[in-house]
Structure 1
């Protein structure tokens, strides 16, 4: 009788050894990634909403960190720097694009504007 129980338990163990039970959201890995960019966007929006015209480039970089994109050029002796920070979601492609960012425009190291209008006026 013990022999039958042992064989039954062994057969059950072998049959179930390859089974995996998934509990919860199928997109758990994606959710943690989504959570990361959502937190970044939220933080960037909070910081940008507190900026003031005239803030210095170094101060803003200190608050927001490394931009997602940046551009710079010199024209007629004036240096222009544009930093792009992710602030909204447009595409579910796993990549950040410029159209998902808010541009911050600095002239000679001073914040002169932000948003599409400020960027288009360059």
Structure 2
């Protein structure tokens, strides 16, 4: 092969590698900066991989960002926290409601349950009425 062709191919590969490195270093792909439909898709895919009793409250904040809705209560020195992340579009009204979310339920910072947001209020009532 001609030396000029080899040099052009190597320069093109070098430029491509440099461009990829810049994107990886400087592109911020945090969930908080995504469009609402991209964030829903990201939340669904990420939450589908979470394992109960191994996922913590801190990991949720780090990987999923701030929740769309959150509630917390402490009863008998036990911390209960639920985080709602939007995972399904229901109504275009500019307001995120529980029925558009998947909830992550934590006890003392450890994930104990995952479910659809509109099923959550029953479970919260069970906790607050049994203690």
Fold match, TM over 0.5? yes
Gaps of 5+ in 2: 1-33, 125-131
Kindly report which structure 2 residues correspond to 1:66-81, keeping only aligned pairs within 5 A, or say none: 66-81=66-81
**Alignment partner of 1:120 is 2:122:** yes
Kindly report which structure 2 residues correspond to 1:24-103, keeping only aligned pairs within 5 A, or say none: 36-54=35-53, 55-103=55-103
Q: Secondary structure at the match of 1:121?
A: helix
Q: What is the Cα deviation at residue 114 of structure 1? A: 1.1
Give a deviation string over 1:37-86, Cα, whole Å, max 9, x none.
11010000011001110111101211100000100001122100100100
Aligned-residue CA RMSD in angstroms? 1.7
**Are the equivalent residues in 2 in contact too, given 1:105–1:114 (CA < 8 A)?**
yes
> Relative to 1, partners in 2 of residues 1:60 and 1:70: Cα closer, same or farther, differing over 3 Å?
same
TM-score, normalised via structure 2 length? 0.62
**Are the equivalent residues in 2 in contact too, given 1:103–1:119 (CA < 8 A)?**
no
The answer to which of 107-116 and 95-104 deviates more is 95-104
Q: What is the Cα deviation at residue 95 of structure 1? A: 2.2
Runs of 4+ in 1 over 6 A off after TM superposition: none
Give a deviation string over 1:3-37, Cα, whole Å, max 9, x none.
xxxxxxxxxxxxxxxxxxxxxxxxxxxxxxxx921
Aligned residues: 88
> Relative to 1, partners in 2 of residues 1:93 and 1:118: Cα closer, same or farther, differing over 3 Å?
closer
Larger Rg: 1
Gaps of 5+ in 1: 1-34
